[in-house]
A and B are shown apart, each in its own frame.
Chain A
Amino acid sequence: MRSRARILSPVFIVVISIVFLVPFAFILLTAAKTEREASQLEFSLPTDWALFQNLADAMQAHDYMLVTAFINSVIITVVSVTIMVVLAAMVGYVLQRRKSRWTRVADVLILSGLIIPPAVVPTVWVLQELSLFKTLQGLILIEVAFGLSFSILLFRAFVATIPRELDEAAIIDGAGPLRVFFSVIFPLLRSVVVTVIVVQSVTVFNDFTNPLYFLPGDDHVTVQLTLFNFQSQFATSYNLLFADILLITIPPLIMFMFFNRKLVEGLTAGAVKG
């Protein structure tokens, strides 16, 4: 059994590497080809490397749409994740510290936020009533609302590991609830704050469905929607389409390189407990 496993494992490694790495290699190679060569959809080295030209062309296309989209996506991601972190930390903290009949209500609401698919048209209607439809602010609030549940779960689990004595000491010193939370507890949450930031910013940055519904139109295009526009308008320019894919994969790749462990930690939270 042991020896067989030893022979098998290199085979597995090769198979897994091919299955998971070839699509990325394909993206890179196609993004580096000339338009004519890319249209053959072959998995081959480009005869003329045109990677940087293609990246530049992809960014300039449609009056720098991709650049605008990057700015919009970064604004949406940064603002919504910041709000999410502060609000979810506040909820997770009180939820963990103060058990009451509201705890149960909150549990049900959090669970509903995790499993219920958001209702599309009624959400459009609400946004329109508030004049937030097709605005960055509207989408930011939507992202916050949909991301709160998961963030609260992470914060609540982490607050449980902070000794109550710390809050009590601060309270005795005369600190009000806000000071206790923001100057004593919140700094101690750093580790989970990083986890939430990393997980949620990848989620929001990669979100396609919500911008499609709640932020239509070219004025406020986000990065995921540029792919969609390139796909229909550049039906033949596969090199630019894949240059776009390459460019929007870079931010998650950076997150992954620096915070791989945090990401895994955040996404597997609760897996062991069930």
Chain B
Amino acid sequence: MSLELRDTAVRSRRIAWPASWLRGRRSPYPYWFYLPAFVIFFIFFLLPTGSSFYYSLTRWTLFDAQFIGLDNFKQFFEEPALTKGLTNTLIYGFVTSGLKVVLGMLLAVLLTSSVLGRAFMRSVVFFPVLVSTIGVGITFTVLLEPDQGLINDVLGVVGIQGPRWLVDPNFALLSVALVDVWKGVGLATVIYIAGIVSIPREYYDAARVDGASAMQSFIHVTLPLAWPATVTVIILSLIGGLRSFDLIWAMTRGGPGFTSDVIASVIYKQYQAGFYGLSTAGNVVLFILVTAIILPLYAFLTRREVQL
């Protein structure tokens, strides 16, 4: 009987809802399905995030909080060790994100063309994404070792005097950023590959008929039509880059001195030192920085998409 009923219901699309649902009191899609997820999300994410605004204004021992106004923030923006973290965060975020966009796009174009061993190459580029960040950090710390490390050895063979990478204050942050790109570019590449293969072949055929060169069809077909993928790559890698902590911690711990500190590592250091209020102020600064960059940028990037 029930089978018959089901058939008619599907065919006619007129549903005999139980009377109690028709009265609007109960839906087959009850809101309480949200509840378990919301409770966990609220307690372990929203509540700490919300209370961070208050505790960033205090001198805090976890048991006792003394209100001190904006002192933590003042300290954050006055002490050179802390302001350095702010500028480094921006540099790190934009360098990694920019390189991932450019290299990810190049790799994706290469790996969607008819090259030999395409599937294997895709796997090779993607695999580092899945490997432990700390493991990658330790490995590259050894490879980047200035006197014994493999990378400077190889550079030496081709006649280049490699920089002192992680121990050079001017190079430490950049070195970590490059390793970040090595580890993360595979994700950008697969996102671009997904974007490029969804472009209908007809556009390329039409471009070729019109006499476009490979370069021209890349600029006028691939680039604009893969724009949603570009937006995704920019936003994802910026969010990751601005919040980045583990790779920097594994490779330099913010050093030499505090030349490669970012906000996330400052937060950890202040936490370890017991300055809970100051650490939380760092969290608030990072929160504001990330949202103040990501939200307008996302709105701006997707607005362009509509115009295309």
Flag whether A56 is at the interface (Cβ < 8 A): no
Flag whether A20 is at the interface (Cβ < 8 A): yes
Q: Is the interface of B mostly helix, strand, loop or mixed?
A: helix
> Are B131's CB and A9's CB within 8 A?
no
> Are A119's CB and B49's CB within 8 A?
yes
**Min C-beta distance of A93 to chain B, whole Å:** 7
Partner of A241, one of B34, B126, B138: B138
> Are A144's CB and B43's CB within 8 A?
no
Known: A17-B124, A177-B29, A238-B142. A272 touches B182 (CB 8 A): no
Flag whether A195 is at the interface (Cβ < 8 A): no
Flag whether A187 is at the interface (Cβ < 8 A): no
> Are A125's CB and B62's CB within 8 A?
yes
Specify the chain A residue showing the minimal Cβ separation from B123: A260
CA A43 to CA B241, docked complex, whole Å: 30
> Are A231's CB and B138's CB within 8 A?
yes
> Are B239's CB and A115's CB within 8 A?
yes
Specify the chain B residue showing the minimal Cβ separation from A86: B36
Known: A9-B113, A168-B15. A117 touches B276 (CB 8 A): no
Specify the chain A residue showing the minimal Cβ separation from B302: A274
Specify the chain B residue showing the minimal Cβ separation from A39: B148
B116 proximity list for chain A (CB < 8 A): 9-10, 13
Known: A119-B280, A145-B44, A272-B195. A98 touches B29 (CB 8 A): yes
CA A128 to CA B208, docked complex, whole Å: 65
Flag whether B307 is at the interface (Cβ < 8 A): no
**Min C-beta distance of A194 to chain B, whole Å:** 16
A119 proximity list for chain B (CB < 8 A): 48-49, 51-52, 280, 283-284, 287
> Are B283's CB and A91's CB within 8 A?
no
A148 proximity list for chain B (CB < 8 A): 37, 40-41
Known: A119-B283, A209-B246. A146 touches B36 (CB 8 A): no
Partner of B150, one of A10, A43, A83: A43
Stretch from B80-88, B93-101, B165-173, B186-194 at the A interface: B186-194
> Are A252's CB and B130's CB within 8 A?
yes
CA A83 to CA B124, docked complex, whole Å: 32
Specify the chain B residue showing the minimal Cβ separation from A263: B130
**Min C-beta distance of A132 to chain B, whole Å:** 9
**Min C-beta distance of B117 to chain A, whole Å:** 6
Q: Is the interface of A mostly helix, strand, loop or mixed?
A: helix
Chain A 1-43 near chain B by CB (<8 Å), digits 1 or 0: 1100100011011001101111110110010000000001111
Q: Which of B95-132 contact A (CB under 8 A)?
A: 107, 110, 113, 115-117, 121, 123-132
Chain A 227-245 near chain B by CB (<8 Å), digits 1 or 0: 1100100000010011001
**Min C-beta distance of B105 to chain A, whole Å:** 13
Partner of A228, one of B49, B134, B264: B134
B128 proximity list for chain A (CB < 8 A): 20, 23
CA A106 to CA B128, docked complex, whole Å: 33
> Are B190's CB and A268's CB within 8 A?
yes
A9 proximity list for chain B (CB < 8 A): 110, 113, 115-116
> Interface size bucket, B side?
35 or more
What number of A residues sit within 8 Å (CB to CB) of B?
102
CA A116 to CA B193, docked complex, whole Å: 28
> Are A93's CB and B29's CB within 8 A?
yes
> Are A120's CB and B283's CB within 8 A?
yes
Specify the chain B residue showing the minimal Cβ separation from A169: B6
Chain A 97-122 near chain B by CB (<8 Å), digits 1 or 0: 11000100010010011111111111
Flag whether B268 is at the interface (Cβ < 8 A): yes
Flag whether B145 is at the interface (Cβ < 8 A): yes
**Min C-beta distance of B63 to chain A, whole Å:** 9
A-B contact pairs, 18 of them (CB 8 A): A9-B110, A13-B117, A21-B124, A23-B143, A94-B31, A116-B291, A119-B280, A120-B271, A121-B271, A122-B52, A125-B55, A145-B41, A145-B44, A146-B44, A245-B138, A252-B131, A268-B190, A268-B193
Task: Enumerate the 4 nearest inter-chain pairs by beta-carbon distance, A residue then B residue, closest first.
Answer: A274-B228, A119-B52, A122-B48, A145-B44
Using CB atoms and an 8 Å cutoff, list the residues of chain A in contact with chain B. Answer: 1-2, 5, 9-10, 12-13, 16-17, 19-24, 26-27, 30, 40-43, 83, 87-88, 90-91, 93-95, 97-98, 102, 106, 109, 112-128, 130, 141-142, 144-146, 148, 152, 165, 167-169, 171-174, 177, 180-181, 202, 206, 208-209, 212-213, 223-224, 227-228, 231, 238, 241-242, 245, 248-249, 252-253, 255-256, 260, 263-264, 267-268, 270-274
Using CB atoms and an 8 Å cutoff, list the residues of chain B in contact with chain A. Answer: 2, 5-6, 9-10, 13, 15-18, 27-31, 33-34, 36-38, 40-41, 43-49, 51-52, 55, 60, 62, 107, 110, 113, 115-117, 121, 123-136, 138-140, 142-143, 145, 148-150, 153, 182, 187, 190-191, 193-195, 198, 213-215, 227-229, 231-233, 239, 242-243, 245-246, 250, 264, 267-268, 271, 276, 279-280, 283-284, 286-287, 290-291, 294, 302, 305
